[in-house]
C-alpha cells in the first residue's frame, strides 16, 4: 500500500486539545511533517497511558518545532491569545479545532452544568476557534485551512450521548456555515467525523470492540457495531487531518470526512 507524505515546513498549525488522544496524534503528525505546532490545551501532560512526555516536547525531541499554550477553549479570549502566539510565528496557517469533553448521562439526568460544560468546550470552542483563526487568515490574506473535529454520534442517536451528540451536530453546521461564508476569502473549512476511537474519552471501548469483531452477529448489546477488522486508534485520524489541511484538498471545503472503519454502516 502506498503512502502520501505531507510537507508543512514553514507553516504554523494550532491544535486544540493536543495533549492527548486524537489531538496528540494529529499534532505529532504535523510536527513530523515539518510544521511549527502550537498545542492549545488546559494541561500539557498527556492522559494517554502510552505517552511519556508532553506533545510539544515529543515533537521537539523528533527534531520539530512546537510549543504549549495553556488554553481553555470555552473562553474566546484565550483562543485569541493562542492565535496571537501563532501570529508571532507568522500567523495561523492551519487551525485544528479538536478539543472536546464527554460526560455520559442519560437524557433525563443531564444537568444544566453538564450541558454547559460539554457545549462550552465542544461547540463554543469550535465556533470561536474557527472565528479567531479565520480573522487572522483574512487579515493576512492567507489561504488558510480550518479542520474541526465532529463525530459519527451526530449521525445517529446513542444512549447517554444526547448532550454530547448535540455539540457534534452543531460542529457539523458550524463547519458548513463557515465554509460557505469564508470561501470567498480563500479560507477552507472542513471537519473529520471519527467513529469510536480508543482514547481517554472512550475508555474501555477498544477492548469491547475487539471482543465484538468476528462474533458472527452475536455482539454484546453494549459493544459498538463493527464491520472493520480492528478497533480505531488515534493515529488512524492523523492522515485524514493532514490531507484536509494539504494542497491535495485545495478544492475541498464544507465537507465532513467520516473516519470510522465502517463501524456504523448500518
Based on its alpha-carbon atoms, the radius of gyration of the chain, rounded to whole angstroms, reads 18
The residues carrying an active-site annotation are: 164
| Per-residue b or e along 82-110, where b marks 16 or more CB atoms closer than 10 Å to that residue's CB | bbebbeeeebbbbbbbbbbbbbebeeeeb
52 vs 192: CA distance, rounded Å? 27
117 vs 46: CA distance, rounded Å? 21
Closest CA to 71 of 36, 95, 104, 48: 95
Helix (H, G, I), strand (E, B) or coil at 136: helix
- 165, containing H or E segment: helix 162-182
The count of C-alpha atoms lying within 13 angstroms of the C-alpha of 34, restricted to the half-sphere facing its C-beta, is 8
Other CB atoms within 10 Å distance of the CB of residue 139: 10
> Which grid cell is 106?
442519560
Cell 492549545 belongs to 40
Residues 60 and 28: beta-carbon distance below 8 Å = no
Cell 511549527 belongs to 36
Amino acid at each position: 500500500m502506498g503512502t502520501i507524505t505531507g510537507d508543512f515546513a514553514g507553516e504554523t498549525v494550532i491544535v486544540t486539545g493536543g495533549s492527548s488522544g486524537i489531538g496528540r496524534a494529529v499534532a505529532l503528525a504535523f510536527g513530523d511533517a515539518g510544521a511549527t505546532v502550537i498545542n492549545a490545551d488546559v494541561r500539557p501532560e498527556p492522559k494517554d497511558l502510552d505517552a511519556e512526555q508532553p506533545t510539544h516536547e515529543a515533537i521537539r525531541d523528533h527534531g520539530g518545532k512546537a510549543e504549549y499554550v495553556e488554553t481553555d477553549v470555552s473562553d474566546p479570549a484565550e483562543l485569541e491569545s493562542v492565535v496571537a502566539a501563532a501570529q508571532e510565528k507568522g500567523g495561523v496557517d492551519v487551525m485544528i479545532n479538536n478539543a472536546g469533553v464527554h460526560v455520559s448521562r442519560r437524557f433525563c439526568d443531564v444537568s444544566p452544568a453538564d450541558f454547559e460544560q460539554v457545549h462550552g468546550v465542544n461547540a463554543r470552542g469550535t465556533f470561536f476557534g474557527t472565528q479567531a483563526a479565520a480573522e487572522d487568515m483574512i487579515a493576512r490574506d492567507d489561504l488558510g485551512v480550518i479542520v474541526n473535529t465532529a463525530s459519527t454520534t451526530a449521525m445517529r442517536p446513542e444512549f447517554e450521548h444526547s448532550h454530547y451528540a448535540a455539540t457534534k451536530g452543531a460542529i457539523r453546521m458550524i463547519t458548513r456555515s463557515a465554509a460557505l461564508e469564508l470561501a470567498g476569502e480563500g479560507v477552507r473549512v472542513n471537519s473529520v467525523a471519527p467513529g469510536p476511537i480508543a482514547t481517554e474519552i472512550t475508555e474501555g471501548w477498544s477492548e469491547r470492540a475487539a471482543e465484538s469483531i468476528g462474533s458472527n452477529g452475536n455482539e454484546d448489546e453494549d459493544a459498538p457495531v463493527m464491520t472493520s477488522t480492528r478497533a480505531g486508534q488515534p493515529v488512524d485520524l492523523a492522515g485524514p487531518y493532514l490531507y484536509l489541511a494539504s494542497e491535495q484538498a485545495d478544492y475541498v471545503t464544507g465537507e465532513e470526512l467520516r473516519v470510522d472503519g465502517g463501524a456504523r454502516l448500518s
